[in-house]
């Protein structure tokens, strides 16, 4: 039996608790921690957990009966909490974004290496049947080299979203929609298509004058072979129509799934390449559906890795790569210059202090509330 502690019992914690409860033959939540006892107690009662409550996570570090910890606290706390638990010999699942700076990601990966324990960064949207099928299709390389990728990470959040105490500040949220919303799509983008070698970006805040951070960013990634990618991150898009489109030399594929293949007529104009479309569609259809999607899918991946001593799909190296792209977007937009990847440790945005010193305040945070009365969210 894998014994679990949950640190932070706010909006995302139920996704973890429900997943652990679902795999009750493998694991059990035995402790929960939050700065607000009433929030933790509500979770304990609601889920009938029979787990212990502590206010300070440090009380759990020396507990030999805890094997795995889910870190569900705000971004600025992720690194220290994860490092402390890894050093205490616990496996760690940390919510996205991995941390609020690359320096913190490096500290987390070093701790995971030191302890030999698992560090997994939540990227639950990888664990969806259409995403796994798309990844499998891309891995066949049937589309030919990818020439253009379009990432539309379109979300919509109202003005009051940034009233929550830790949101909307560089210090505590670590960034705006590029870090906290597009992190999902940027993770999938780099997992499916690899890292570009250069980023050029512009950020802005168009509708949230109560937040220091951006509510929209547009970035262009350039690969060594000349291929381009455009990544739009937003919390001002009504309808939240999100997509990832990969335009290969021979065909295009995307999430939501759509497939088109063109071949050239004698005069260069396109005609449908039905044979290739059929071949790619067959690969897509033949891949079996996932049994568990989202948080349950990723948490099962970690539980299985612990039981069978295997690798997890989304480890700290993967989490860091996603943060590297996001950091490059912030650096390029702030300095108004393209940024070469990999980002060096002397980058002005590598450390948390560097980000706090350099990142633009679009506005100042004007209102702070401790908790929303309605704490339900969509992911």
Positions that interact with ligand NAD (CB under 6 A):
7-12, 33-36, 39, 57, 72-75, 77, 95-96, 122, 124, 164, 180, 377, 379
Q: Which residue's CB is nearer to ligand NAD, number 72 or number 280?
A: 72
Find the shortest distance in angstroms from Cβ 94 to ligand NAD: 8
Nearest residue to ligand NAD by CB is 10
CA distance linking residue 375 with residue 379, whole number of Å = 13
Find the shortest distance in angstroms from Cβ 77 to ligand NAD: 5
Q: Which residue's CB is nearer to ligand NAD, number 75 or number 354?
A: 75
CA distance linking residue 281 with residue 140, whole number of Å = 12
Q: Which residue's CB is nearer to ligand NAD, number 183 or number 261?
A: 183
Q: Which residue's CB is nearer to ligand NAD, number 109 or number 247?
A: 109
Q: Which residue's CB is nearer to ligand NAD, number 191 or number 246?
A: 191
Nearest to 213 by CA among 73, 30, 360: 360
Q: Which residue's CB is nearer to ligand NAD, number 122 or number 312?
A: 122
CA distance linking residue 6 with residue 16, whole number of Å = 8
Nearest to 100 by CA among 180, 34, 212, 164: 180
Find the shortest distance in angstroms from Cβ 187 to ligand NAD: 11
Find the shortest distance in angstroms from Cβ 345 to ligand NAD: 24
CA distance linking residue 14 with residue 179, whole number of Å = 22
Yes or no: say if 120 and 257 are a contact pair by the CB < 8 Å rule.
Answer: no
Find the shortest distance in angstroms from Cβ 324 to ligand NAD: 18
Find the shortest distance in angstroms from Cβ 31 to ligand NAD: 12
Q: Which residue's CB is nearer to ligand NAD, number 43 or number 146?
A: 43
Q: Which residue's CB is nearer to ligand NAD, number 12 or number 302?
A: 12
Find the shortest distance in angstroms from Cβ 281 to ligand NAD: 30
Find the shortest distance in angstroms from Cβ 33 to ligand NAD: 5
Q: List residues bridging with 3 in a β-sheet.
A: 28
């Amino acid at each position: 039996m894998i014994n679990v502690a949950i640190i932070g019992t706010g909006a995302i914690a139920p996704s973890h608790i429900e997943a652990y409860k679902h795999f009750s033959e493998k694991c059990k939540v035995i402790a929960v921690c939050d700065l607000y006892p009433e929030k933790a107690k509500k979770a304990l009662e609601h889920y009938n957990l029979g787990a212990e409550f502590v206010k300070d996570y440090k009380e759990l570090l020396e507990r030999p009966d805890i094997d795995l910890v889910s870190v569900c606290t705000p971004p600025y706390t992720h690194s220290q909490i994860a490092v402390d638990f890894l050093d205490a010999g616990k496996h760690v699942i940390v919510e996205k974004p991995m941390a609020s700076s690359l320096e913190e990601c490096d500290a987390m990966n070093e701790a995971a290496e030191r302890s030999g324990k698992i560090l997994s960064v939540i990227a639950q949207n990888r664990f969806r049947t259409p995403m796994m099928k798309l990844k499998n299709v891309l891995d066949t390389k049937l589309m030919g080299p990818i020439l253009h990728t379009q990432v539309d990470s379109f979300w919509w959040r109202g003005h009051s979203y940034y009233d929550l105490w830790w949101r909307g500040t560089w210090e505590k949220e670590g960034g705006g929609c590029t870090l906290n919303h597009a992190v999902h799509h940027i993770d999938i983008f780099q997992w499916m298509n690899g890292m570009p070698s250069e980023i050029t970006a512009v950020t802005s805040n168009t509708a949230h004058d109560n937040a220091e951070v951006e509510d929209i960013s547009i970035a262009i990634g350039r690969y060594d072979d000349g291929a381009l990618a455009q990544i739009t991150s937003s919390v001002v898009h009504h309808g939240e129509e999100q997509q990832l489109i990969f335009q290969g030399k021979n065909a295009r594929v995307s999430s939501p799934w759509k497939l088109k293949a063109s071949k050239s007529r004698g005069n260069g104009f396109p005609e449908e390449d039905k044979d290739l479309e059929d071949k790619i569609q067959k690969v897509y259809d033949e891949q079996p559906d996932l049994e568990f999607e989202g948080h349950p899918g990723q948490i099962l991946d970690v539980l299985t890795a612990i039981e069978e001593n295997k690798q997890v799909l989304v480890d700290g190296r993967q989490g860091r790569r996603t943060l590297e792209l996001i950091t490059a977007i912030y650096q390029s937009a702030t300095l108004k210059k393209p940024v070469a990847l990999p980002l060096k440790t002397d980058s002005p945005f590598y450390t948390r202090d560097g980000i706090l010193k350099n990142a633009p305040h679009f506005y100042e945070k004007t209102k702070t509330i401790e908790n929303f009365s309605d704490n339900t969210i969509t992911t």
